Amino acid sequence: MKNLRNSVQLIGNLGNNPEVKTLANGNKVANISIATNESYKNNKGDTVENVQWHNVVAWGKLAEIMEKTLKKGKEVAIEGKLVNRSYDDKEGNTKYITEVLASTLLLLGKKDV
């Protein structure tokens, strides 16, 4: 149960191609955004789609794999943990971000031809 304390699993589609940066030490970091979809019927019987967007960060070898294999629209499964961070913008306002720190990536959907 210890591993379940902060564990996230998502299946969704990429909103954009990965944004990959190479740091001064040679390490890579990749940022992606994944859309997950849920649908349900409301009290009128209409189908309602609910889309949630999730920011995902990957480091090192996983970032390199994302850079080589992921494209906008690709369906993926991501496993990782939630992390929170903050920064001050140019106006001095503190901004808070919650994102998924990815540890595992699984490519889903049709194989690219």
Tens of pLDDT, residue by residue over 12-22, are 999 999 999 99
In this prediction, residues 4-10 reach a mean pLDDT of 89
pLDDT of residue 36 exceeding 80, the answer is yes
The reply to whether the predicted model has a pTM over 0.85 is no
For range 57-77, the mean pLDDT? 96
* pLDDT for the residue numbered 104: 96
Q: Which of 71, 69, 35 is nearest to 52 (CA)?
A: 35
pLDDT at 110: 72
pLDDT, mean of residues 80-99: 95
Per CATH, the homologous superfamily of domain 2-107 is Nucleic acid-binding proteins (2.40.50.140)
Residue 100, judged by CB atoms within 10 A of its CB (0-12, 13-18, 19+), counts as buried
Sequence ranges of the domains in the chain: 2-107
